[in-house]
Amino acid sequence: MKKLILLFAAILIIFNCSNEGTGTLKVKLTDAPTDEFEDVTINIKEVNMIGQKQTTGKAILSFADGEKKMNLLDLQNTSTLLGEAEVTEGKYTQIRLVVYETGNTARPVDGEDKPLTIASGDVTGAKLVISGGLEITADEEKEITLDWDLNTENSTQIKLNSDGSYHMTPVLKLQSVK
């Protein structure tokens, strides 16, 4: 009988160790002001999280084409909720915003909408490396705000290509964690 109880206890310990808990993560997006563009529209496909021991991202939020199409300039001095997801507990070192290949545009002040390509945006996504990591624990709710910064050190991240289209090297910053 004692051996049966010990066996049962061992099974419970193994079962509980293999069952990872989840926490809730709310992801918001904002943008720092820019005066070079009237409109910068991005078409977000998914939000990926990469854990400390992972090499590929896990989509925590996915959107249909056009569902999360937004003008970043509408997010100046405010933020919008991209979504909320249950995330496996652990330490996460990267967040990636993957965009659709099409549907992204930029319009300079007094100009016309032109196609916008985003470096690695439709493949691996715009990347944010989280210094020190973001710890998610079971039954916890966290809210993060990402700043898709169009200006860095007084220089726009959007450049005009020779064919008249635009190319962006995205800069994401972790603005806040609550």
* pLDDT on residue 55: 58
Q: Inform me whether the pLDDT recorded for 148 exceeds 80.
A: yes
72 vs 66: CA distance, rounded Å = 14
The verdict on residue 143 lying in a domain is yes
Q: What is the mean pLDDT of residues 147-163?
A: 80
Q: Which helix (H) or strand (E) holds 175?
A: strand 172-177
Angle at 174 between CA 124 and CA 156, to 5 degrees: 75
Q: Which of 97, 89, 105 is nearest to 145 (CA)?
A: 97
Tokens 């999360």 correspond to what residue?
A: 68
Which has the higher per-residue pLDDT, 119 or 15?
119
The verdict on residue 35 lying in a domain is yes
The verdict on residue 53 lying in a domain is yes
* pLDDT on residue 15: 42
* pLDDT on residue 66: 81
Lowest mean pLDDT among 3-7, 163-167, 170-174: 3-7
Q: Which of 61, 28, 26, 24 is nearest to 146 (CA)?
A: 28
Q: Inform me whether the pLDDT recorded for 76 exceeds 50.
A: yes
* pLDDT on residue 19: 57
Q: How far is CA 101 from the centre of its chain?
A: 16
The verdict on residue 13 lying in a domain is no
- Tally of domains within the chain: 1
46 vs 57: CA distance, rounded Å = 11
The verdict on residue 16 lying in a domain is no
pTM of the model: 0.81
State the average pLDDT for the chain: 84
The verdict on residue 15 lying in a domain is no
Burial of 53 (0-12, 13-18, 19+ CB in 10 A): exposed
Q: Inform me whether the pLDDT recorded for 156 exceeds 80.
A: no
Q: Inform me whether the pLDDT recorded for 160 exceeds 60.
A: yes
Q: What is the mean pLDDT of residues 5-17?
A: 44
The verdict on residue 11 lying in a domain is no
In this structure, what CATH number is given to the domain that contains residue 164? 2.60.40
* pLDDT on residue 149: 86
The verdict on residue 6 lying in a domain is no
* pLDDT on residue 32: 81
Query: Using one digit for the tens of pLDDT, what is the confidence trace for 82-96?
Result: 999 998 888 999 999
Q: Inform me whether the pLDDT recorded for 105 exceeds 60.
A: yes
User: Residue 153's domain spans which residues?
Assistant: 21-177
Q: Inform me whether the pLDDT recorded for 12 exceeds 50.
A: no
